[in-house]
A and B are shown apart, each in its own frame.
Chain A
Amino acid sequence: MARPRRIATAAARYGSFNWAGLLLAIIAVGIVFTYTSPFFLNSGNFANLSRAVGYTGIVAAITTLVLVSGAIDLSIAAMMSLAGVATAWFLRAGADWPLAIAAGLVFGLIGGATNGLIVTRTGINPLIATIATQFLMRGIAFLMTKGFPVPMYQPNVAFLGAGSALGVPVPAILMVLAFLAVGFLLNRTQFGIHAQAIGGSPGGSMARLAGVPVVSRKMQIYVLSGLFSAVGGIVLLGYTSTGDPNAAFGQELPIIAAVIMGGTSLGGGRGSVFGTLLGVVLLGEVYNGLTLNSVSSDWQYVVQGVALLVAVFIDEYRSRKSRTESGRG
């Protein structure tokens, strides 16, 4: 029967991800860049770093929940640019800033709902479905702007991306709020436990048999993914003051890499928002340090590719370990 000691250790390994490694990596990378660049350890640079991390962090937070539920959304970066473009477009058309932001968020809701409908109603593989909607969203953004970036001068919207409150950059505050919200949803609510249950078995089959309303939960998950991506996109718009159909181009994979590095499983069922926060900080720190060291942006692509491979490799290793542990039962 039960051998409590073995079970407790297995659970400790499986249930709570060990963050010490990520924290150490963040510190180690920090030390290296401190030596290689005089600008790294500097409050101005920290503000820069937290702004850059902020808008991707908002999207990474919700992507944690998406991956835990066994889903995937590759349209997040395109959604960011479309929401930014939509907000800038409404501002240029003379809309008040609250209305323009609301419009950007509505684009996020519609984009997310579109993904949700395609995935739940047609059974198309979510990977392919959200690559397709990624093109759709970029296409609409290009059509709305005729291919040219839309300048944005509204100070309140700019505040979201470039402002500070009590000395803290606003994107960093919004990111922390996003992480708190997703952490609460994932761990404390019925919705969150259902998302975990769906991710716990292929296609959510076990969750369905147990009575979880799988289709409506998936729908809600994709809608939230679209909504958070829109928030990230509007913050990015505030940061750059430009509604750019090319904004955040190719950012979906670094965001997903950060989430996986943070201990969330690509196959679903396991994940932690705190781990994602550390993953986002680590990757943001690396890009920031490379830029400060005048490493060309070509190399940053190489770094992104390596980061993605490392993240997936670690995930594969962890999954195999938890499979062999549970297989002993």
Chain B
Amino acid sequence: MLEAQARERTSNGPVLSARGLFKNYGAIEACIDVSIEVFAGKLTALVGDNGAGKSTVAKILTGAIAPDAGEVLVDGQPVVFIDPLAARVAGIEAVYQDLALPPNLDILSNIFLGREIVRPVFGRLPIPVHVLDTRKMLDRARPQLDELRIKLPQLRGLPISSLSGGQRQTVAIARAALWSSKVLVMDEPTAALGVSQARAVLEVIKEVLARGVAVLMISHALPHVIELADQVVVMRHGRRVANMERGRLDSEEIIRHIIGESPVARAPH
């Protein structure tokens, strides 16, 4: 009976959620009693003005910072991520605003950074030196990048620093998309991108959603939000002030929630 309920919960419930998150930076309350849920194959957009606490929520959900209070749940089970690696092991990938791509490494090294495919160096001798298996990494990355329709210059030999901003963004998203099995969290994935590059990123997001991965996207680009989102969560001054479902998304209303001028914003949700 309980097992059946658990199965019910995992199939229909949120794959990743947070309840009652609080986070202070000294006197600044970045996050006050925020709850959020993301669902498999659905895109949740997190919107709000600068300093509303969106990035803090994203970083808590991906293990980059620890909340002062509140809990994070994966498939309904409470978890504590000690670092981003722990979140990643749980199938949760993140694209942060600073991208976290060491600029001196090439694309392939960045995509596999921290998760390199290796082979033993001295046969079966117990020597702890792990040789990179570049061929295997290429064989694994190429078909997946094709499937996600991600176009990148040569994967080997070009340092990230020689790529354009849009290409770097694409590498960061490719890395996260390739590894995310459950949730993909993106902080401003289309900011600072040209129109066609932003379009390409949105197409990648659609492919990721089609794979059944839940996507949480922080964005200021309301047209993108309205086009893709199944759910829009609005934050203001560290609080969640609105949660709207697809079908009644309207950019006027979202803006009113963001700037807090409408009485609707103060209505309970």
| Min CB–CB distance B203 → chain A (angstroms) | 15
| Min CB–CB distance B109 → chain A (angstroms) | 5
C-alpha spacing A142/B118, complex, angstroms = 45
A15 at the interface (CB under 8 A from B): yes
Given contacts A11-B162, A14-B162, A325-B161, contact A211 B114 (CB under 8 A): yes
C-alpha spacing A325/B103, complex, angstroms = 12
Given contacts A1-B166, A197-B102, A325-B162, contact A209 B130 (CB under 8 A): no
A286 at the interface (CB under 8 A from B): no
A204 to chain B: closest residue by CB: B102
Of B85, B129, B163, B164, which contacts A211 at CB under 8 A? B85
| Min CB–CB distance A194 → chain B (angstroms) | 8
Within 8 A of A (CB), among B116-158: 116, 118, 121, 129-132, 153, 157-158
Given contacts A188-B131, A206-B100, contact A197 B105 (CB under 8 A): yes
Within 8 A of B (CB), among A168-190: 185, 188-190
B163 to chain A: closest residue by CB: A329
Interface residues of A, count at CB 8 A: 37
C-alpha spacing A191/B130, complex, angstroms = 7
A94 at the interface (CB under 8 A from B): no
Mask: chain A, 187-225; 1 = CB below 8 Å from B; 0 = not = 011110110111111000111111111000000000000
A192 to chain B: closest residue by CB: B132
CB pair B165–A329 under 8 Å, yes or no, is: yes
| Min CB–CB distance B236 → chain A (angstroms) | 27
B209 at the interface (CB under 8 A from A): no
B260 at the interface (CB under 8 A from A): no
B159 at the interface (CB under 8 A from A): yes
C-alpha spacing A132/B165, complex, angstroms = 42
A110 at the interface (CB under 8 A from B): no
Chain B residues with CB under 8 A of A211? 84-85, 88, 113-115
Chain A residues with CB under 8 A of B103? 200-201, 269, 326
CB pair B114–A212 under 8 Å, yes or no, is: yes
Within 8 A of B (CB), among A296-329: 322, 325-326, 329
Chain B residues with CB under 8 A of A193? 105, 109, 113, 116, 132
Of A193, A197, A207, A322, which is in contact with the most chain B CB atoms at under 10 Å from its CB?
Answer: A193
A124 at the interface (CB under 8 A from B): no
C-alpha spacing A210/B113, complex, angstroms = 6
C-alpha spacing A15/B98, complex, angstroms = 22
A2 at the interface (CB under 8 A from B): yes
| Min CB–CB distance B102 → chain A (angstroms) | 3
CB pair B105–A1 under 8 Å, yes or no, is: no
CB pair A212–B159 under 8 Å, yes or no, is: no
Chain A residues with CB under 8 A of B85? 211
C-alpha spacing A8/B121, complex, angstroms = 32
A4 at the interface (CB under 8 A from B): yes
Chain B residues with CB under 8 A of A201? 102-103
CB pair A209–B162 under 8 Å, yes or no, is: no
A270 at the interface (CB under 8 A from B): yes
CB pair B129–A2 under 8 Å, yes or no, is: no
Of A1, A8, A196, which contacts B102 at CB under 8 A? A196
Given contacts A4-B153, A10-B162, A200-B104, contact A188 B115 (CB under 8 A): no
Given contacts A209-B100, A326-B162, contact A200 B105 (CB under 8 A): yes
| Min CB–CB distance A324 → chain B (angstroms) | 11
C-alpha spacing A198/B105, complex, angstroms = 10
CB pair B114–A14 under 8 Å, yes or no, is: no
| Min CB–CB distance A263 → chain B (angstroms) | 13
B168 at the interface (CB under 8 A from A): yes
A7 at the interface (CB under 8 A from B): yes
| Min CB–CB distance A2 → chain B (angstroms) | 6
| Min CB–CB distance A271 → chain B (angstroms) | 10
B101 at the interface (CB under 8 A from A): yes
B197 at the interface (CB under 8 A from A): yes
Given contacts A190-B130, A193-B105, A201-B103, contact A207 B162 (CB under 8 A): no
CB pair B161–A14 under 8 Å, yes or no, is: yes
| Min CB–CB distance A102 → chain B (angstroms) | 18
C-alpha spacing A188/B103, complex, angstroms = 19
Chain B residues with CB under 8 A of A7? 153, 158, 162-163
C-alpha spacing A255/B103, complex, angstroms = 27
CB pair A11–B159 under 8 Å, yes or no, is: yes
Chain B residues with CB under 8 A of A188? 131-132
The 3 closest A-B pairs by CB, nearest first: A211-B114, A200-B102, A326-B161
| 16 residue pairs bridging A and B, Cβ less than 8 Å apart | A7-B158, A11-B158, A14-B161, A15-B157, A15-B159, A189-B118, A189-B129, A197-B102, A197-B104, A200-B102, A206-B100, A206-B101, A208-B84, A211-B113, A213-B114, A329-B161
* Known A269-B103, A325-B161; further 19 A-B contacts with Cβ < 8 A: A1-B196, A11-B158, A11-B159, A14-B161, A188-B131, A189-B132, A190-B132, A191-B130, A194-B114, A206-B99, A206-B101, A207-B114, A208-B83, A209-B64, A209-B84, A212-B114, A213-B114, A270-B104, A322-B161
Residues of A that sit less than 8 Å from B by CB: 1-2, 4, 7-8, 10-11, 14-15, 185, 188-191, 193-194, 196-201, 205-213, 269-270, 322, 325-326, 329
